[in-house]
Amino acid sequence: MKDAVRRIVGAGVDVSTRKALKSSMSLLGIKEENIDRMYINVKNSVNRKELDEIPVENRALFLPHCLRPAELCRARVGEYGYECNGCSLEGCKIAEIRKEAENRGYRVFIVPGGSMVYNIMKKEGIKGMVGVACIKESVDALENIDVPAFAVELSKSGCVNTDVSVRKVIGSL
């Protein structure tokens, strides 16, 4: 996928917006989900250098609440989403990811949706972000957030008990 993105950008295809990429790629019969993945890869590539230049204390990691084992999680909802108590429930990757991100200086938020992300960023003056989400939420964020952002796709989507590669998330910080 990354090689295809490089070739597309190198060929001068307009990838500045999802709409531009979609109109170009749909002519080739590429499925919309794959176009969205290309868009995410392009935006991640474009934003990476700029994100890395932002002091880590001005960056945030946004995790979706659907990563929690919903039936067992005792996290409480606060002003900025769920507040993980670090219990390390079996099957919950949030505590592990949160610990590593905070050790690196990131502020970590466990949010129920994109609208909370926008509110937190505005209130807290976040200058750059890494977000874990499904394809739809990732595309929406990358199109609408006006700071450098990097998206990590969930490996299992849905609205409850989703999954993500811990290694991918930590590698994106």
138 or 161: which carries more pLDDT confidence?
A: 138
CA 18, CA 54: separation in Å to the nearest integer?
A: 25
Residues 46 and 61 in one domain: no
Residues 132 and 64 in one domain: yes
pTM score, two decimals?
0.86
Residues 69 and 151 in one domain: yes
- What is the number of structural domains in the chain? 2
pLDDT exceeding 90 applies to what percent of the chain? 51
Its domain, for residue 95, covers 55-173
Q: What are the tens digits of pLDDT across the range 100-144?
A: 999 999 999 999 888 899 999 999 999 999 999 999 999 999 998
Mean pLDDT in residue range 72-83: 90
> What confidence tier does 161 reach under pLDDT thresholds 50, 70, 90?
confident
Residues 72 and 48 in one domain: no
CATH at 157: 3.40.50
Mind giving me the DSSP string for 53-78? HS-GGGEEEEEEGGGS-TTT--PEEE
> What confidence tier does 19 reach under pLDDT thresholds 50, 70, 90?
confident
